[in-house]
Amino acid sequence: MQRSAVFTALFSLAILSLLAACKAGTPGSLQGGVMKEIKQNVTIGGRDVKNPIPKSAAAIKQGAEHFQRRCQVCHGLDGHNTGVPFANKMDPPVADLGSTDVQGYTDGQLKWIIENGIGPSGMPGWKGILDDDEMWKMVWYIRNLPAAGSLGAPAIFKEQAEEHEGMQMMRKGGAATGEKKPHTHTPGTPPHKD
Ligand code: HEC
């Protein structure tokens, strides 16, 4: 009796997700959507755990300091990946912590993510490295992120970008001293005759 009720429930769930899949369209988005659901509802713990640290300007500021020390290499100073050159090249890409998806987690889930990391993605867990207090303050920072771009790029990437610009200027300089215009064809394809 009970078993068949469970079965019916599971069966209707399956139908529902199939229907949702039709709405979503491509198989890719089906998988992405279901995976996201599973991740947000099953894998990530801590849903009902409340932030024991009361909200205050000091807590947000301290959270920002910890964040900017530990997390900026991937998430940028502002939590929006500003100036992080590989953010979109990681698989999955580094999450924008201001996005509605991330803000949709409860405080307890955010703390859980920081503590345990996200499975096989590039998001590391910080258990044993950060204490609870630091993690909860970071949660306050994540809830109160500054506007994207407002803090500029992390220093290490700024230097890289400047070096890169320097190289480009040297290349341009080379072009000015007699080198023909930089070729745009890809290696291996014969240069076209005009
Ligand atoms: C080595 C790069 C890296 C570092 C360092 C890093 N993260 Fe992440 N983070 C990621 C990636 C990649 C994702 C996306 C994971 C995913 O979507 O499954 C992510 C996702 C997240 C998410 C959202 C998870 C989700 O399901 O969307 C939060 C919150 C987060 N990081 C917080 C932090 C905090 C706080 C720190 C510092 C204590 C930190 N991260 C350090 C790479 C990093």
CA of 73 from ligand 1 middle (Å) equals 10
Instruction: Give CA torsion, residues 91, 92, 94, 95, to 10 deg.
Output: 170
The residue nearest atom 10 of ligand 1, judged by CA position, is 123
Among 29-38, 157-166, 175-184, name the most confident range: 157-166
Structural domain contains residue 112: yes
Q: Does residue 144 form part of some domain? A: yes
Q: Is the CB of 119 under 6 A from ligand 1?
A: no
| pLDDT, mean of residues 72-97 | 95
Picking from 36, 107, 90, the residue whose alpha carbon sits closest to that of residue 115 is 107
pTM for the structure as a whole: 0.73
Residue 148 belongs to domain spanning = 46-169
Task: Tell whether 97 is covered by a domain.
Answer: yes
Is 80 exceeded by the pLDDT of residue 177? Answer: no
Q: Is the pLDDT of residue 118 over 60?
A: yes
The answer to whether the CB of 59 is under 6 A from ligand 1 is no
Number of domains in the chain: 1
Q: Which two tokens stand for residue 133?
A: 């207090």
Q: Which CATH number does the domain housing residue 52 bear?
A: 1.10.760.10
Whether residue 130 is predicted with pLDDT greater than 80 in this model: the reply is yes
User: Which residue, chain included where needed, has tokens 């190289």?
Assistant: 167
Q: Give the residue with greater pLDDT, 24 vs 194.
A: 194
> If pLDDT is split at 50, 70 and 90, which confidence band does 168 have?
low
Lowest mean pLDDT among 8-22, 37-51, 136-150, 154-168: 8-22
The answer to whether residue 5 is domain-embedded is: no
